[in-house]
Structure 1
Amino acid sequence: MFSSVSTTAIKAKIKEVKQENMDRKVILQKRKKIIKSGNLKKKDTKKLVLYLKNGADCPCQQLDNLTNQYLIMGRKVDKQYLLTGIHKWDKSNKEFKKAMKTLKTYKCPEFTTVFK
């Protein structure tokens, strides 16, 4: 699962996943490594919670396994951080390598046309 609209990337384990209305609320463990901060502030990382909008019935296996490290991507919308991608942290996996490369080299097309 990967989206080019991710502005934040974090390496972390998931502490807890809860259902909240039609969304899924993903709570990360305290220890995490910021890979790409985007618009994420340091104070926001203390109790970071991401939401998977309309994902209450999502069969995402990553959200069921709380023992693995994950590359978790998201973006801030209003006052919430939305989950836009999640990959098991596995450097030998080709899809994971591709996601990491895209994440590091991605340039927002809106930025180049709007902020000249």
Structure 2
Amino acid sequence: MEHSADGLMEQMCSSDFVVKMRIKEIKIENGDRKLIGAQKKKKLLKAGPLKRKDTKRLVLHMKSGAGCPCPQLDSLAGSFLVMGRKVDGQLLLMAVYRWDKKNKEMKFAVKFMFSYPCSLYYPFFYGAAEPH
């Protein structure tokens, strides 16, 4: 599935963290879905509030996501571009895309995500006076 670079960059702006990673397994608990990252093979593209201990063993939560029809998670082979927010110590999943190195839009978005004017579009996520 093709995604626009602008759409991906806007999602990156609204996320606390962005990681390219492999997913080891998916667990379902109490109506939530947990994505457990592989120990190795992860690249932190935007750290945000993540601490070293957060990145050691990435566990991403999809609130009420047990019934989510997520076709991109049908197969856990390969890498994923994952975006989320840290809320009350939990890493909440906001978006997940299968990493496609042939997808020009995705490569462009990742390459230029730091030059994208996030604070102009999302001043309520960041301090309005803080440049990001």
Give the TM-score normalised by the residue count of structure 2.
0.75
Distance 1:33 1:115 in 2: 26
What secondary structure, in the 3-state scheme, does the structure 2 residue paired with 1:100 have?
helix
Cα root mean square deviation, aligned = 2.3
* 1:109 aligned partner: 123
Residues 103, 6 of structure 1: CA spacing in aligned structure 2 closer, same or farther, 3 A cutoff?
A: farther
What is the correspondence of 1:1-40 to structure 2 with a 5 Å cutoff?
3=11, 4-31=13-40, 32-40=42-50
Give the TM-score normalised by the residue count of structure 1.
0.84
Name whichever structure is richer in strand by fraction: 1
Q: Kindly indicate whether residue 86 of structure 2 is the aligned counterpart of residue 86 of structure 1.
A: no
1:78 maps to a residue whose letter is D
Residue ranges of structure 1 left out of the alignment (5+ in a row): none
Report the number of matched residues. Answer: 116
* 1:52 aligned partner: 62
1:91 maps to a residue whose letter is K
Residues 81, 10 of structure 1: CA spacing in aligned structure 2 closer, same or farther, 3 A cutoff?
A: same
Residue ranges of structure 2 left out of the alignment (5+ in a row): none
Return the offset for 1:100: 2.9
Distance 2:112 2:86 in 1: 19
Return the offset for 1:52: 0.7
1:16 maps to a residue whose letter is E
